[in-house]
């Protein structure tokens, strides 16, 4: 039978996983919330411009 405790002691994560983790967490990613905020800002600006023109 496999001794899971012993196998866990021998486990070492590969460098590739650590490098990928750094690359993923190091990026500033835009999410849906950021996109919606930007759309609302643009809409608000256009609405104000229309009010000024009238």
Q: Could you read off the pLDDT of 13-51 as tens digits, one per residue?
A: 777 887 888 877 777 778 888 899 999 999 888 777 777
Banded model confidence at residue 10, pLDDT cuts 50, 70, 90:
very high
Q: What share of the chain is helix, strand, coil (3-state, %, to 5)?
A: 75, 0, 25
Q: What is the structure's pLDDT at 20?
A: 81
The pLDDT value given to residue 14: 75
Q: How confident is the model at residue 54 (pLDDT cuts 50, 70, 90)?
A: low
User: Domain limits of the chain?
Assistant: 4-53
Other Cβ atoms within 10 Å of 45 Cβ, number: 10
């Amino acid at each position: 039978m496999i001794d899971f405790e012993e196998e866990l002691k021998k486990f070492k994560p590969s460098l590739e996983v650590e490098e990928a983790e750094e690359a993923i967490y190091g990026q500033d990613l835009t999410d849906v919330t950021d996109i919606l905020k930007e759309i609302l800002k643009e809409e608000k600006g256009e609405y104000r411009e229309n009010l000024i023109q009238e």
